[in-house]
């Protein structure tokens, strides 16, 4: 799929540029969701951390990340296996040297990737909420942007071996992911899982016999406003990604916007109906998670689905994310306050499967290519990101100390709370 | 336990990649890819179960 950089007319390149300018709204929305679903005494910390990790990620990506990722058809290290040539890592100079930053497809890819890697770096903040030190989150995002993200993104978007499965092994169009369900969301979600494992749960989250305490998010309003902001960002992300990485025609942007919206709305409504039936009232936090899961699931397939299929993708995403959030918290003792693992990793993987199950004219072997991509996420990205963050933790402790967790991250690391006129409650809901 | 889980995840991925890159017949590819995914599922179960034990012990 997309083994050459697309050739864009001037008008298409300008359209693509304008769509890319919407992408930071996806990161802004995600930061609001993370902040709203966390505690009020860490609300400003989440927003500051979102800005800092996005900045670190963008700088590190431009400095070294793009050198490993690059774009289709540019210089790369090749391996010959079974008489076929496979690209495993790019070989570009550091700091974008030699790359003209104009309206060419390559330069649009660099711009989109700068924003995308920032979005991927914001995702794990949700899992580390209330206990992840600011400096450690920046260091972790540098590792993500400098190595994990670009290597996997080369394999998917840079002409690497996953994208070559179509031409070299006859598996449909090779691994397909138009808007970053794998490269951005599953990578970010699996990093969130690693961070949650390494940090451990928040103080008092689980009792000695493993029963979780409910620690509610402090502002559903922020979380839901984040969903609406992210929606706009996703329209740009899915459209620009499909044009630059999946060979979609610029005229398909309307279909992509329709499918993205249908998937998000169907997923959010599914979450509303399920929580209404299960708890007697719709749950605002879970509706926010459902909405975001629908956006994530749409990323891989929005350019390839009929609208009815996009609704189905959203309905399944909404159901799956509620099940996953419940499973992770109650059965697997994973403390992920914003649901990043479920929303980004689980819904992202569902979106990747949906490409082969529901897309227009799904070709032979496409499902094997999609399974290969999912296996790579689980077998390469998850162990790699865990080991890198575990090593980082050995040199630079990632979890704040007990006093910091007691005070809240705002006071302890920033010196002031997000809501100075409000009374911040103590841990009255914690199990003692 | 967690390390064993990660090793199984890695091993399953290696099976999938080897099957797709080296096996010529479609049927054997499908069989080995599915086998690799099953190995990875076992690895994931092992990794998450080991975390649950650790985290609950830690309180």
Q: Does B18 touch chain A (CB under 8 A)?
A: no
At a CB cut-off of 8 Å and minimum separation 6, what does A65 contact? A113, A117, A145, A146, A147, A149, A150
Q: Closest partner residue to B56 among A206, A368, A379, by Cβ?
A: A206
More confident of the two residues A194 and A430: A194
Looking at residue A173, the DSSP 8-state letter turns out to be: T
Domain containing B37 equals: 2-58
Closest CA of chain B from A408, distance in Å: 19
> What residues of B are in contact with residue A365 (Cβ under 8 Å)?
26
For helices A24-37 and A220-245, angle between their N-to-C axes, nearest 10 degrees: 150
Q: Find, in chain B, the residue whose alpha carbon is nearest to that of A200.
A: B55
For chain A, give every domain's residue range: 10-202+224-414
- At A53-112, the pLDDT tens digits run 999 999 999 999 999 999 888 889 999 988 889 999 999 999 999 898 999 999 999 999
User: A2 pLDDT band (50/70/90 cuts)?
Assistant: very low
d(C-alpha A225, C-alpha A35), whole Å: 11
pLDDT of residue A1: 47
Question: Is it true that domain A10-202+224-414 has CATH number 1.10.3430.10?
Answer: yes
Short-list A150, A126, A158, A154, CA closest to A53: A126
pLDDT of residue A414: 95
Q: ipTM greater than 0.90, yes or no?
A: yes
User: B57 pLDDT band (50/70/90 cuts)?
Assistant: low
The answer to whether B59 contacts A209, with C-beta atoms less than 8 Å apart, is no
How many independent structural domains does chain B possess? 1
- At A356-399, the pLDDT tens digits run 999 865 567 899 999 999 999 999 999 999 999 999 999 999 99
How large is the average pLDDT for residues A161-175? Answer: 92
Q: Could you report how far apart the first and last alpha carbons of chain B are, in Å?
A: 19
- At B32-51, the pLDDT tens digits run 999 999 999 999 999 988 87
């Amino acid at each position: 799929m997309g083994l050459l950089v697309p050739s864009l007319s001037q008008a298409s390149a300008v359209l693509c540029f304008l769509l890319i300018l919407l992408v930071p709204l996806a990161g802004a929305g995600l930061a609001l969701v993370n902040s709203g679903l966390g505690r009020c005494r860490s609300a400003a910390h989440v927003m500051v951390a979102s800005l800092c990790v996005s900045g670190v990620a963008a700088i590190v990506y431009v400095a070294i990340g793009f050198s490993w990722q690059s774009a289709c058809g540019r210089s790369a290290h090749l391996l010959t296996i079974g008489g076929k040539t496979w690209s495993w890592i790019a070989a570009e100079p550091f700091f974008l040297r030699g790359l003209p930053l104009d309206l060419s497809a390559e330069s649009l890819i660099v711009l989109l990737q700068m924003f995308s890697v920032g979005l991927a770096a914001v995702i794990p903040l949700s899992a580390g909420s209330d206990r992840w030190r600011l400096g450690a989150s920046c260091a972790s995002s540098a590792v993500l942007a400098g190595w994990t993200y670009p290597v996997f993104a080369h394999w998917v978007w840079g002409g690497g071996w996953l994208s070559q499965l179509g031409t070299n092994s006859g598996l449909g169009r090779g691994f397909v992911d138009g808007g970053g369900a794998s490269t951005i969301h599953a990578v970010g979600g699996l990093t969130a899982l690693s961070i949650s494992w390494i940090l451990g749960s928040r103080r008092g989250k689980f009792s000695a016999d493993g029963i979780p305490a409910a620690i509610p998010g402090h502002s559903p309003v922020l979380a839901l406003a984040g969903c609406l902001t992210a929606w706009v960002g996703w329209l740009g992300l899915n459209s620009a990604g499909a044009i630059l990485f999946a060979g979609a025609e610029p005229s398909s942007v309307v279909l992509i916007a329709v499918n993205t919206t249908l998937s998000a709305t169907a997923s959010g409504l599914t979450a509303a109906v399920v929580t209404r039936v299960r708890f007697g009232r719709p749950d605002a936090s879970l509706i926010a998670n459902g909405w975001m899961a629908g956006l994530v699931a749409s990323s891989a397939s929005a350019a390839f689905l009929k609208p009815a299929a996009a609704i189905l993708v959203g309905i399944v995403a909404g159901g799956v994310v509620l099940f996953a959030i419940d499973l992770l918290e109650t059965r697997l003792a994973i403390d992920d306050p914003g649901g990043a693992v479920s929303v980004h990793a689980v819904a992202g993987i569902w979106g990747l499967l949906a490409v082969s199950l529901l897309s227009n004219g799904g070709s032979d072997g496409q499902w094997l290519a999609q399974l290969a991509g999912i296996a790579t996420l689980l077998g390469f990205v998850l162990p790699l990101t865990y080991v890198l963050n575990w090593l980082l933790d050995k040199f630079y402790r990632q979890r704040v100390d007990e006093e910091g967790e007691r005070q809240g991250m705002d006071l302890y690391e920033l010196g002031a709370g997000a809501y100075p006129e409000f009374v911040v409650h103590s841990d009255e809901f914690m199990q003692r | 336990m967690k390390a064993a889980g990660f090793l199984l995840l890695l091993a399953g991925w290696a099976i999938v990649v080897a099957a797709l890159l080296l096996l010529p017949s479609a049927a054997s590819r499908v069989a080995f890819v599915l086998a690799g995914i099953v190995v990875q599922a076992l690895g994931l179960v092992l990794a998450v179960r080991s975390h649950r034990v650790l985290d609950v012990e830690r309180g």
